[in-house]
C-alpha cells in the first residue's frame, strides 16, 4: 500500500491546522457563510438536508485495517455509528458537527487519510478497478498511476478553479470494472505490441443531466507521458470549458460542442509543447511508486484448497456465497472476496462502526491487511487464500455482511436521495429496499442472473442510473415522487446510456414495474446464460414497453 | 392565504432548526412560529439577520398547513427535512431488518 512520505504527512497535517483555524473563525463569527463555504467544500464538508456531511477520500478505494478501524472509531465517537460508502469509492459521514470536524480530520491524518478535493471544482478522488493488483485478467495494477495522478492533482495550482469538477478513473484490465467511459478522463492501462505499458485515453464521459459516453482520443499513450498528457487535457478544458452555465461546464459538453477530433487536436498540440518538460515520468519514480503496491509478502501460489471443496459441499449457503461473491485471483489458490453492503432490505453502501471493525479484523487476520471500496458500494478483500474463505465467511455471517448477491438484482447502487441529500427530488433508498425485498429470495436472484439496478434521486445521477441495466431516476411531479425507468445502460467496456422506456411510475407502482421488466426478460431470454443486458440489446424496447404499458 | 415558517441549520452542529415565537431557534417543528403572508417579509428579514449574525446558516421560508395547531410542511422535501430520514440507519436499521425477518 502507498505510505505517506514526509511531504504528504506535512501537507495533510498543515491542512488540518489551516482548516481548524478557519472553522474557529467561522464559529466565532469572523467568517460569513459566503466566505466559509468555498473553504469547507475544499475540505469535503457539505451542508446537506439535515446536517453537515463530511466526505472522506479513499484514494483508488484502497484501505488497510488500521484505516478502516479509524473510520469505525470516528463513526462511533463523532457521528451516529455508521457511514456510507459511495460510488466514488469514498466514505460519507452524515451527521458530524462542524465544531468536531477539525478533530475528525486530525484523526484521519493520523492514519494517512484526508478529505481534500472530495468536493469543489477540482480534480476529485481518482478511482480504480476494485480488484486492482489482484484480478486474474489484469495487465498491470492501475493504482500506481492513480497515485501518481493523485500527487500531481493535489492542490495543482492551475487546476483548483476548474469550470466544474473533474473525475478520473483508471482500469488495468480489458474488462472495465471502473466505469472509465463515464468519466472526464478514463484511462485504460494496457501493453502495446512491444510489451510497453501505456494507456488508451478517453475523455468527455459523464452522467448527470447530460449523459455522454467518453470518446477515445488516443489509442496508446506511453506510460512516461501520463502527466504531461493529462495536463494538456486539463489545460485545454480549463481554458475553453464553459464558465457561464454550470450545467454546461463539464468537459463532456466541451468535447460534444467542439467535436472529439478538434479537442484531440488541441490536446495533442498542447502536449507537444510540454511533453519533454518537467512532467515526463522518470522510470525510477514509477518503479518507486509501483513498489508501494507490490503484492503482499507471503502471497504465493497454493494448490487448490481441499478444505474449501469439502466446506462448500457441506454447506450450500457457503457454497452460494463463494460462487457469487468471489472473483478469480492472479495467484493460484487465492480469490478476491466481495463483502456485500446490500443486505436484503438494507441501505445500499451503509456500514455500522461495528461492521467496519469486523471487516478490519478479517482483513488483518485473513486477507493481508487490504480492503477495497468498490464503486458499486461494496467492500472487497482483494487477497484471500482459499483455505481462509470459510473463516472469512463465518466472520461476515456473524456481522450480517455475508449476503451472497454480488452482481445480482439486489446488489443495487442507490444515491442517498431525498432521505439525506439537499439536491434530491425523490427518495432512492426506500425504493432500493423495496426492490431488494421483492427479489430477496436467493434462488430467484440466481435464476435472474447478472442484473445491475441503479437508482438516482435526481438528475445529477449520483446513483449512476444512466448506466444501470435497469436505471431508475426519481423526479418530483406535482409534489409527488415519480420514477422514470431506463433500460440497457451499462458502465463496462461496452458502455451505453440507457433508453428511457416511457412515462414514469408512482412510488406504489415502481417495484411492480421493475418486476414486470424482470419477468419479461425471463420469459423472453433465449437461455439462462443470456443476461438481461444481452437480451435487451437483442430484443430492444418493444417487449418491455408492451409489458409495462400494453402498447408496443 | 398560506402559512409559513422559517427554517435554517444551526451553525455549530448543522442540525435543522426552526424560528420560534421568541426569536430563538428550535429543533422541534412544533415550536416553530407560524406566520401569515403579512408577517412573512419581517420573519424572512429576521432570519437573514440571524444568518448575517452567524447564528444560523441559510435560512428560508417554507409553506405549512396546520394540523391540530402544529405546522406541517407542504412539500415532501421539507417534511423529510423536518422529521429526519424516512429510513432507519446504523444499528437501528440492522435491528429493524432483524425484526422484519423474524416476523416474516
Which residues of chain B from 43 to 102 reach within 8 Å of chain A, CB to CB?
51-54, 57-58, 74-77, 80-81, 84-87, 89-91, 93-94, 97, 100
> From the centroid of its chain, how far is CA A494?
18
DSSP one-letter code for A418: G
| Torsion sign across C-alpha atoms A49, A50, A54, A60 | negative
Element at B10 (helix H, strand E): strand B3-10
Closest CA to A456 of A178, A207, A90: A207
User: What end-to-end distance do the CA atoms of chain B give, in Å?
Assistant: 47
Name which of B2, B54, B101 to mutate to probe chain A: the one with the most chain A Cβ atoms within 10 A of its Cβ: B54
Name which of A349, A352, A432, A458 to mutate to probe chain B: the one with the most chain B Cβ atoms within 10 A of its Cβ: A352
Q: Distance between CA atoms of A405 and A455, rounded to whole angstroms? A: 17
| C-alpha distance from A32 to closest chain B C-alpha (Å) | 7
Contact residues for A364 (Cβ-Cβ < 8 A; gap 6+): A65
Residue that is written with C-alpha cell 461492521 in the block: A355
Task: List residues of A whose CB lies inside 8 A of any B CB.
Answer: 26-27, 29, 31-33, 47, 49-52, 80-82, 94-99, 343-347, 350, 352, 354, 400, 418-420, 424-425, 427, 429-430, 433, 476, 479-481
Instruction: Classify domain A6-109 by CATH architecture.
Output: Alpha-Beta Complex (3.90)
In chain A, residues with a C-beta closer than 8 Å to the C-beta of B75 are 479
Closest-approach residue (CA) in chain B for A434: B87
The answer to whether A409 and A439 have CB atoms below 8 angstroms apart is yes
| C-alpha distance from B68 to closest chain A C-alpha (Å) | 23
Q: Distance between CA atoms of A42 and A347, rounded to whole angstroms? A: 28
Q: Domain spans of chain A?
A: 6-109, 142-292, 306-398, 414-549
- β-pairing, A505-506 vs A499-500, is unpaired
The H-assigned helical ranges of A331-426 are: 353-366, 389-398
- Contact criterion met (CB < 8 Å) for B9 and A479: no
Q: Distance between CA atoms of B101 and B104, rounded to whole angstroms? A: 5
Element at A13 (helix H, strand E): helix A6-27
Element at A455 (helix H, strand E): strand A453-456
CATH of domain A306-398: 3.90.480.20
Instruction: Read off φ and ψ for residue A350, nearest 5 degrees.
Output: -85, 145
Residue that is written with C-alpha cell 435526481 in the block: A458
User: Are domains A6-109 and A142-292 of this chain identical in fold?
Assistant: no
| C-alpha distance from A355 to closest chain B C-alpha (Å) | 10
Task: Return the ∠ at Cα A256 (arms to A253 and A257), rounded to 5°.
Answer: 85
Task: Return the ∠ at Cα A118 (arms to A420 and A197), rounded to 5°.
Answer: 130
The answer to whether B9 and A47 have CB atoms below 8 angstroms apart is yes
| Torsion sign across C-alpha atoms A323, A495, A244, A160 | positive
If you average pLDDT over every residue of chain A, what do you get?
Answer: 96
| C-alpha distance from B38 to closest chain A C-alpha (Å) | 25
Q: Distance between CA atoms of A384 and A399, rounded to whole angstroms? A: 18
Give the nearest partner residue to A52 out of B14, B51, B54, using CB atoms: B14
For chains A and B, count residue pairs whose Cβ atoms are closer than 8 Å: 95
- Contact criterion met (CB < 8 Å) for B76 and A476: yes
Mind listing the pLDDT tens digit of every residue in chain A (552 residues)? Answer: 888 888 899 999 999 999 999 999 999 999 999 999 999 999 999 999 999 999 999 999 999 999 999 999 999 999 999 999 999 899 999 999 999 999 999 999 999 999 999 999 999 999 999 999 999 999 999 999 999 999 999 989 999 999 999 999 999 999 999 999 999 999 999 999 999 999 999 999 999 999 999 999 999 999 999 999 999 999 999 999 999 999 999 999 999 999 999 999 999 999 999 999 999 999 999 999 999 999 999 999 999 999 999 999 999 999 999 999 999 999 999 999 999 999 999 999 999 999 999 999 999 999 999 999 999 999 999 999 999 999 999 999 999 999 999 999 999 999 999 999 999 999 999 999 999 999 999 999 999 999 999 999 999 999 999 999 999 999 999 999 999 999 999 999 999 999 999 999 999 999 999 999 999 999 999 999 999 999 999 999 999 999 999 964
In chain A, residues with a C-beta closer than 8 Å to the C-beta of B73 are none
- Contact criterion met (CB < 8 Å) for B85 and A419: yes
In chain B, residues with a C-beta closer than 8 Å to the C-beta of A433 are 87
**3.30.450.20, 3.30.499.10, 1.10.3720.10, 3.30.413.10: CATH of A142-292:** 3.30.413.10
Residue that is written with C-alpha cell 436472484 in the block: A445
DSSP one-letter code for A417: G
Cell of A445: 436472484
- Contact criterion met (CB < 8 Å) for A418 and B52: no
The secondary structure of A18-76 as a DSSP string is HHHHHHHHHHTTSS-HHHHHHHHHTTTEEE-SSSEEEEE--GGGEE-HHHHHHHHHHHH
Contact residues for A20 (Cβ-Cβ < 8 A; gap 6+): A102, A105, A106
Instruction: Classify domain A414-549 by CATH architecture.
Output: 2-Layer Sandwich (3.30)
Give the pLDDT confidence score for residue B103 in this predicted structure: 75
Q: Distance between CA atoms of A89 and A57, rounded to whole angstroms? A: 8
Q: Distance between CA atoms of A331 and A100, rounded to whole angstroms? A: 44
- Contact criterion met (CB < 8 Å) for A33 and B90: no
Give the nearest partner residue to B9 out of A47, A424, A430, using CB atoms: A47
Encode pLDDT of A219-272 as tens digits.
999 999 999 999 999 999 999 999 999 999 999 999 999 999 999 999 999 999
3-class SS of residue A407: coil
| C-alpha distance from A370 to closest chain B C-alpha (Å) | 24
The answer to whether A481 and A427 have CB atoms below 8 angstroms apart is yes
Order of strands, sheet of A62-63, starting from the edge strand that comes earlier in the sequence:
A62-63, A371-373, A379-385, A334-339, A326-328
Q: Distance between CA atoms of B104 and B99, rounded to whole angstroms? A: 9
Q: Distance between CA atoms of A189 and A134, rounded to whole angstroms? A: 15
DSSP one-letter code for A491: -
Amino acid at each position: 500500500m502507498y505510505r505517506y512520505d514526509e511531504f504528504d504527512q506535512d501537507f495533510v497535517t498543515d491542512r488540518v491546522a489551516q482548516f481548524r483555524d478557519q472553522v474557529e473563525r467561522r464559529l466565532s463569527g469572523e467568517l460569513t457563510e459566503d466566505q466559509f463555504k468555498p473553504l469547507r467544500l475544499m475540505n469535503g464538508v457539505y451542508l446537506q438536508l439535515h446536517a453537515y456531511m463530511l466526505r472522506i477520500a479513499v484514494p483508488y478505494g484502497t484501505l488497510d485495517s488500521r484505516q478502516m478501524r479509524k473510520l469505525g472509531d470516528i463513526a462511533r465517537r463523532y457521528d451516529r455509528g455508521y457511514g456510507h460508502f459511495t460510488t466514488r469509492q469514498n466514505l460519507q459521514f452524515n451527521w458530524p458537527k462542524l465544531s468536531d470536524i477539525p478533530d475528525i480530520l486530525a484523526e484521519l491524518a493520523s492514519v494517512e487519510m484526508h478529505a481534500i478535493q472530495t468536493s469543489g471544482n477540482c480534480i476529485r478522488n481518482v478511482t480504480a478497478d476494485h480488484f486492482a493488483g489482484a484480478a486474474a485478467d489484469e495487465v498491470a495494477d492501475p493504482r500506481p498511476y492513480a497515485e501518481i495522478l493523485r500527487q500531481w492533482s493535489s492542490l495543482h495550482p492551475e487546476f483548483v478553479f476548474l469550470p466544474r469538477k473533474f473525475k478520473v478513473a483508471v482500469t488495468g484490465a480489458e474488462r472495465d470494472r471502473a466505469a472509465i467511459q463515464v468519466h472526464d478522463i478514463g484511462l485504460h492501462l494496457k501493453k502495446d505490441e512491444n510489451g510497453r505499458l501505456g494507456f488508451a485515453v478517453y475523455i468527455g464521459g459523464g452522467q448527470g443531466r447530460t449523459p455522454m459516453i467518453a470518446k477515445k482520443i488516443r489509442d496508446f499513450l506511453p506510460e512516461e507521458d501520463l502527466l504531461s498528457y493529462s495536463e494538456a487535457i486539463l489545460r485545454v478544458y480549463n481554458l475553453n470549458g464553459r464558465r457561464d452555465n454550470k450545467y454546461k461546464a463539464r468537459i463532456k459538453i466541451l468535447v460534444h460542442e467542439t467535436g472529439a477530433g478538434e479537442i484531440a487536436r488541441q490536446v495533442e498540440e498542447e502536449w507537444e509543447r510540454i511533453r519533454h518538460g518537467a512532467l515526463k515520468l522518470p522510470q525510477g519514480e514509477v518503479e518507486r511508486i509501483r513498489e508501494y503496491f507490490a503484492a503482499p509478502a507471503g502471497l504465493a501460489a497454493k494448490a487448490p484448497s481441499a478444505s474449501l471443496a469439502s466446506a462448500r459441499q457441506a454447506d450450500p449457503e457457503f457454497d452460494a456465497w463463494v460462487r457469487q461473491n468471489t472473483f478469480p485471483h492472479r495467484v493460484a489458490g487465492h480469490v478476491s472476496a466481495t463483502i456485500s453492503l446490500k443486505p436484503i432490505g438494507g441501505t445500499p453502501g451503509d456500514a455500522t462502526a461495528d461492521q467496519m471493525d469486523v471487516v478490519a479484523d478479517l482483513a488483518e487476520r485473513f486477507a493481508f491487511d487490504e480492503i477495497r471500496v468498490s464503486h458499486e458500494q461494496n467492500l472487497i478483500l482483494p487477497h484471500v487464500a482459499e483455505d481462509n474463505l470459510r473463516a472469512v465467511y463465518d466472520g461476515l455471517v456473524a456481522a450480517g455482511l455475508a449476503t451472497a448477491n454480488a452482481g445480482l438484482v439486489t446488489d443495487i447502487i442507490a444515491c442517498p436521495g431525498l432521505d439525506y441529500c439537499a439536491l434530491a427530488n425523490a427518495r432512492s433508498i426506500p425504493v432500493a429496499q423495496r426492490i431488494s425485498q421483492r427479489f430477496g429470495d436467493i434462488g430467484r436472484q440466481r435464476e435472474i442472473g447478472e442484473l445491475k439496478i441503479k437508482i438516482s434521486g435526481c438528475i445529477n445521477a449520483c446513483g449512476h442510473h444512466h448506466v444501470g441495466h435497469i436505471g431508475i431516476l426519481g423526479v418530483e411531479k406535482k409534489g409527488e415522487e415519480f420514477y422514470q425507468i431506463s433500460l440497457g445502460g451499462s458502465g463496462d467496456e461496452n458502455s451505453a446510456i440507457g433508453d428511457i422506456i416511457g412515462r414514469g411510475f408512482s412510488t406504489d407502482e415502481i417495484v411492480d414495474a421493475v418486476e414486470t421488466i424482470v419477468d419479461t426478460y425471463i420469459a423472453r431470454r433465449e437461455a439462462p446464460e443470456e443476461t438481461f443486458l444481452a437480451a435487451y440489446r437483442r430484443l430492444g424496447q418493444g417487449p418491455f414497453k408492451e409489458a409495462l404499458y400494453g402498447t408496443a | 392565504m398560506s402559512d409559513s415558517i422559517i427554517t435554517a441549520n444551526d451553525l455549530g452542529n448543522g442540525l435543522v432548526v426552526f424560528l420560534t415565537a421568541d426569536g430563538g431557534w428550535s429543533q422541534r417543528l412544533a415550536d416553530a412560529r407560524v406566520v401569515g403572508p403579512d408577517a412573512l417579509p419581517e420573519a424572512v428579514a429576521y432570519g437573514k439577520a440571524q444568518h448575517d449574525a452567524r447564528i444560523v446558516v441559510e435560512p428560508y421560508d417554507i409553506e405549512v398547513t396546520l394540523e391540530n395547531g402544529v405546522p406541517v410542511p407542504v412539500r415532501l422535501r421539507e417534511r423529510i427535512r423536518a422529521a429526519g430520514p424516512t429510513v432507519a440507519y446504523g444499528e437501528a436499521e440492522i435491528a429493524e431488518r432483524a425484526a422484519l425477518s423474524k416476523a416474516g
